[in-house]
Amino acid sequence: MDATSLAHAHYSLDHDHFQSVLSRTQNLLIIQDLDGVCMPLVKDPLNRHIDPDYITTTEAFDGHFYVLTNGEHLGKRGVNAIVERAFGADQSGKAAGHYLPGLAAGGVQWQDRWGMVSHPGVSDPELAFLQGVITAMEQRLRVVLPCLGVTRVESLVAASVLDNVASPTVNLNLAYEIVGEHYPELQTAMHRLMTELLKDAQASGLTDAFFVHYAPNLGQDQAGNDILRPATTTDSGTTDFQFMVRGGIKEAGVVALLNRYYHQHFGYYPLGPEFNVRQAPASLPELQGLILEHFDPEKMPLLVGVGDTVTSRVTPNGVQRGGSDRNFLQLIHNISQATEQPHLTVYVDSSRGEVKNRKSLKLATIDGVEQVAEGPGDPDDRNDPLRLNVAFPGGYKQYTACIKAAAQNRAVAQS
């Protein structure tokens, strides 16, 4: 089976077909998000876990599988620590080469399977400023939380501030439950802090070096800034306030991974060996043009983008479309449309996790066949340009089971 029919599908549940495509396609590039896709969403990032069998399974796709995440590889809350815990206290993950290769911090942190990490295009002054951002986040929470009735401030600060090297983050999943009706005030306080930090960077001579990513969000405004998703009584809205290096956007990461893929498999870098996401244009049309101009379509791998965060909301002022995975999936879809090559976008329903800001896929049985009746966006958003080809309503467990089966079949096919 090839990927053509899946590329024209919308929310296909034919996982056997998808599995067959992954097993049989030699020229393949899987680009996959992490949280909610191959592990459950949890309130406290320190409690994340990943199946070690899944990690070793991805090695059957070595050279054809890369992660693309706004999280990080490094640090006590990084994915590497999760991998190490999965393989035991002896940290055999590094010795055995089990780390997940790919781009983190939106694309500015590169890692190979052996845990060798670099930050292409990021300067030492920028990394130093980011260390100060971590301190500022902790200090602001210590001021704000007592005003919202929180008594165990230090434990909540420790759980909420992700001391990432290249993308310091305030994660308010746990705080949402604790502060209750005061949560919108906490959102506002963190939004104000992010604005102040951007001004501080500019005053330090780092003009336009950083931006703030809100997750989940309501898309971007006309200036290209993420729009905060306000909390409601049933939805925490934006919980992650990520202070990131300018250029660290997932859609640019697709281009950077393609550049590395061509070198690994065909012996040359279409954009040169020093290319990184900070050199990439910011808009989807420009990124698409860069790919069409520089990457030989005869060598183009089957692109498979996998994510779990896609949103939209219809308002009296128009449609707001967002989600951390939307744009990189949209770029893959656009490339498929422009080249008439069957690239695939895959959506994993992560709504069953502890974090209650994901909308579940709605299923219905029509003519005896189970189908997705409603996707993750607003049902009134009938002109969403993003087509999600394959869906996993059963969440990360269903998706990882499919990947495991595909890896086993791929190994058999290649033996």
Tell me, yes or no, whether 84 lies in a domain. no
Tell me, yes or no, whether 273 lies in a domain. no
The residue among 203, 226, 245 that closes a domain is 245
Residue/partner pairs of 367-370 with CB below 8 Å, 24 or more apart: 370/13
Tell me, yes or no, whether 285 lies in a domain. no
The residue among 197, 222, 245 that closes a domain is 245
Higher pLDDT, 333 or 215: 333
> Rounded CA gap, 56 and 67, in Å?
14
What does the pLDDT read at residue 381? Answer: 95
Asked if residue 409 and residue 305 are part of one domain, the reply reads yes
Q: What is the pLDDT of residues 331-362, one digit of tens each?
A: 999 999 999 999 999 999 999 877 777 899 99
Tell me, yes or no, whether 218 lies in a domain. yes
What does the pLDDT read at residue 216? Answer: 87
Asked if residue 408 and residue 333 are part of one domain, the reply reads yes
Tell me, yes or no, whether 280 lies in a domain. no
Q: What is the pLDDT of residues 51-81, one digit of tens each?
A: 999 999 998 999 999 999 999 999 888 999 9
What does the pLDDT read at residue 399? Answer: 98
The domain total for the chain is 2
Q: What is the pTM for the complete model shown? A: 0.91
Asked if residue 394 and residue 315 are part of one domain, the reply reads yes
Task: Tell me the HSE value of 368 on the side-chain side, using a 13 A CA sphere.
Answer: 0
> Rounded CA gap, 117 and 73, in Å?
8
What does the pLDDT read at residue 170? Answer: 95
Asked if residue 306 and residue 240 are part of one domain, the reply reads no
Q: What is the pLDDT of residues 278-307, one digit of tens each?
A: 999 989 999 999 999 999 999 999 999 999
Tell me, yes or no, whether 82 lies in a domain. no
The dihedrals phi and psi of 55, each to the nearest 5 degrees, come to -60, -50
215, containing H or E segment: strand 210-215
Tell me, yes or no, whether 96 lies in a domain. no
254-269: average pLDDT: 98
Asked if residue 320 and residue 210 are part of one domain, the reply reads no
Tell me, yes or no, whether 107 lies in a domain. no
Bond from prior residue into 216 cis (ω within 30 degrees of 0): yes
Domain that holds residue 190: 124-245
95, containing H or E segment: helix 92-96
113-127: average pLDDT: 95
User: Would you tell me how many other CB atoms lie within 10 Å of the CB of residue 404?
Assistant: 18
User: Would you tell me how many other CB atoms lie within 10 Å of the CB of residue 394?
Assistant: 16
CA distances from 375 to 11, 131, 251, 253, 368 (A): 8, 39, 22, 25, 20
What does the pLDDT read at residue 45? Answer: 77
What does the pLDDT read at residue 72? Answer: 94
Q: What is the pLDDT of residues 356-414, one digit of tens each?
A: 778 999 999 988 899 999 999 999 999 999 999 999 999 999 999 999 999 999 988 77
Asked if residue 241 and residue 138 are part of one domain, the reply reads yes
Q: Which residues pair with 211 in a beta bridge?
A: 244
Asked if residue 309 and residue 377 are part of one domain, the reply reads yes
Residue 415 has pLDDT above 70, yes or no: no
Asked if residue 305 and residue 241 are part of one domain, the reply reads no
Residue 248 has pLDDT above 80, yes or no: yes
What does the pLDDT read at residue 80? Answer: 92
